[in-house]
Homo-oligomer: A and B are copies of this chain.
């Protein structure tokens, strides 16, 4: 199946558009490793939740390989870069409706000092639509 191009970025864009059209706030959960550029002070247990609303983001790009934008964290503008492969979920803040994605942390770039034994490895075998809160 690995030779089939991923539909994940298409689903992310779809759910972002759904949130935007109905006035919901699109939140995106991200697994943080060395390939991700986010404010590390907001990372908890290798994860960060980002607000992807058009009000919060500038120059938002939801591309097939990368999600990038600029946003303020504690008043300071920061550049955000997230590989689509590291996206764990996208959902509406207001109701938790959205989609989570399978993620194999063993395949990602390690953070310094993190062993493979310590990495969380969700074992979901396929993406699923679910309520994530």
On A, residues with C-beta under 8 Å from B are 1, 4-5, 7, 10-11, 13-15, 17-18, 22, 92, 95, 97-99, 126-131
Contact = CB atoms under 8 A, between A and B. Distances in A.
A72 to B, nearest CB: 28
> Copies of this chain, how many?
2
A15 B129 CA distance: 14
Given A11-B129, A126-B130, A127-B129, 14 more contacts: A1-B95, A4-B92, A4-B97, A7-B14, A7-B15, A7-B97, A7-B98, A10-B15, A10-B17, A11-B11, A11-B14, A99-B129, A126-B129, A126-B131
A92 B131 CA distance: 26
10 closest residue pairs by CB, A with B? A14-B14, A127-B129, A10-B14, A7-B18, A10-B18, A128-B128, A5-B22, A4-B95, A11-B14, A4-B97
